[in-house]
Amino acid sequence: MRIIDLLYLVVQGLKSRIARTLYTTLGVAIGIAAILFLVSLGYGLQKILLEKITTKESLLTLDVASPESKIISLNDATLQKISKIPGVDQISPQAVFIGQIVHEGLTSEAIVNLIDPNFFIYEGITPRFGRLLTADEKNKLIVDSQVAELFGLKNSKILGKNLKILIFIPVEGAEEGIVETFEVETEFEVTGVIEGGATTANIFLKRDDLEKLPIKEYQFAKVKVEEDKNLEEARDKLISMGFMVSALSDTIEQANRIFNAIQIILGIFGVVGLIVAAVGLVNTMSITLLERTSEIGIMRSLGASANDIRKLFLMESTICGFFGGIFGVTLGIGIGQLFNFGINLLAKSLGGQTMRLFSYPFWFI
């Protein structure tokens, strides 16, 4: 039997049972849409996380901190030694103090971070509003979103505001908790706002702007290496010196493992739905076969072979599966976009940021 004749019989058979054909196709579509919706949600969440915490430079950066025992400290002398480790490109130290910020007569506690401008690049931080610090400007600072909330301002409205800063410096040799106050003479202008991840407000100033402030020890340092191959060697050397060392690349690797597991679990739920749809398709074809025994007998008497009959039913199921797949992909993407739209509306109403929750890798579709 010619292919054109088979196609004609297939189309006529599907049209004669249009309701059953539509329900069968819809069952396949729902199963595929469920897989696409769930797995693309996993990919989307993974993409959001990695884009927020990674830059090219941050993946080449080691986070260094002094051990709690204080057997070795991060000071200018040790930073000089670290800079001589083979493969080390740049070092960005971070000094942390307790302080206060004053704006229009209102005073609030804050963590004061003294950094270099490249700190944000190595940390993988991008501003929510405004811009980051640059090396050629003076008396500017970055705040996190907690600062704006403390003063009752929207994140975008605190840009350009001037803040007065007080820094509490622990007195060397005195009991714990004894501090002296370092009052910064110049007010600092807010140039950018970053995401606030802690309950305490944080502000970030350049070390160069506070040259009079004595910094005897740094709490943390970002050590950037030249290439990937230098990362492990530099890490081992820093650990042997007694420092606590971590890398963002480790966090990324762990996050990828977690998201891979999540995607597998979500995919299993979707596959269950697809299996149910496939069973429904097989059941429909079986019932159709039983209902069409007389039709099959007539076709055999007219010269159709058993192989022709087999092709006929395979083509019917293939067409149902094909159109079910197309409709399922369209349905899955459509539901995902609708869900994303609703979440973004809610985020906007609560003052949050919009984002794309779903990602559709071409190879997966």
Is the separation of the CB atoms in 36 and 365 below 8 Å? yes
Same domain (yes/no): 225, 323 = no
Judge whether 269 lies within some domain.
yes
Q: Are residue 142 and residue 227 in the same domain, yes or no?
A: yes
Whether residues 140 and 199 share a domain: the answer is yes
The answer as to whether 36 is a domain residue is yes
150 within a domain of the structure (yes/no): yes
pTM attached to this predicted model: 0.61
CA gap 158, 321 in Å, rounded: 56
Both 133 and 236 in one domain: the answer is yes
Are both 32 and 88 inside the same structural domain?
Answer: no
Q: H or E stretch including 335?
A: helix 306-349
Domain-located, residue 358? no
Question: 187 CB contacts (<8 Å, ≥6 apart)?
Answer: 139, 162, 163, 164, 165
pLDDT tens digit string along 239-297?
Answer: 998 888 888 777 777 777 877 887 788 778 767 777 777 777 777 777 777 666 777 77
121 and 201 fall within a common domain = yes
62-96 residue pLDDT tens: 999 988 777 788 888 999 999 999 989 999 999 99
Instruction: Judge whether 357 lies within some domain.
Output: no
Question: Are residues 266 and 139 part of one domain?
Answer: no
61-65/244-247 β-pairing: antiparallel
The residue ranking higher by pLDDT, 312 or 207, is: 207
Provide the domain limits for residue 283. 3-53+253-349
φ and ψ of 177, to 5 deg: 100, -15
Coarse DSSP helix, strand, coil percentages of the chain, rounded to the nearest 5 percent:
50, 20, 25
pLDDT band at 170, cuts 50/70/90?
A: confident
Residues 92, 217 within the same domain: yes
β-pairing, 188-194 vs 61-65, is unpaired
Q: For residue 5, name the pLDDT band (cuts at 50, 70, 90).
A: low
pLDDT tens per residue across span 305-331: 777 777 777 787 778 878 888 888 899
Indicate if 86 and 232 belong to the same structural domain: yes
**pLDDT at residue 253, as a whole number:** 75
pLDDT for res 204: 95
Structure tokens at 70: 């204080």
